[in-house]
Structure 1
Amino acid sequence: MICVYEASDPVNAEIVKDYLLSWGLDVVIQGQFGWGGRGDLPANAYPQICVTRDSDATRARELVKQWERGEDPRPAWTCGDCGERLDGTFSDCWRCGAEKP
């Protein structure tokens, strides 16, 4: 297991974890419970996102960099049911609930 991102807090860790999961990477959060003790513990207590397959580490780091820059390379799409135009980050149509093709 290789850690690819150190989050500022548990909420940030969950967001990045979900983002990487949406790309099909198997990731886990380590150290999320130590965050509450920061300042009182003599160690790094920030949550870390780790890939479970070492071969995914490079791809995960690239995706994290894109996420930090606010970029998402997934193309926009048009809902086949209602015609609504959606950002590539959406997996379902916000208007009618249809799934992305």
Structure 2
Amino acid sequence: MKLVFTHPHHFAVANVRNQLAQRGIACELRNEFAAGALGELAPIDVWPELWVLDDRDYDIAQRWIEADQTQANGRDWYCGQCGELNAASFDHCWACQRERRLD
């Protein structure tokens, strides 16, 4: 097992876990409930961690995470069907479920 991602917010780590699982990469979430030890341990030591179960998946997982983070830092977009504003990281409109078009 190798540590592939860590972040101070549990939601961010769980989101990456879900994205990797959709791509067939098995992961384990650790330190999920370690925040209770904050004060006894350094803050970074209680951050949730995501570990790939198969070391051979590590490099591809890193590439997917980097690509997803780059996309998430992009520009928000408006749906061509309903006009709703969506976050850059969304592939589908949250309101009408139309797939994002990059034209």
TM-score for both structures, normalised by structure 1: 0.65
2:6 counterpart residue number: 6
2:40 counterpart residue number: 41
Give how far 1:21 is off: 0.5
Within-5 A mapping of 1:11-90: 11-38=11-38, 40-43=39-42, 44-70=45-71, 89=91
Question: In 2, Cα distance between the equivalents of 1:33 and 1:53?
Answer: 23
Question: In 2, Cα distance between the equivalents of 1:18 and 1:54?
Answer: 18
Give how far 1:51 is off: 0.4
TM-score for both structures, normalised by structure 2: 0.64
More helix by share: 2
Give the CA RMSD over aligned residues. Answer: 2.2
Give how far 1:19 is off: 0.6
Among the aligned pairs, what percent are the same residue?
19
Unaligned runs of 5+ in 1: 72-88, 96-101
Structure 1 ranges of 4+ moved more than 3 A? none
Give how far 1:48 is off: 0.7
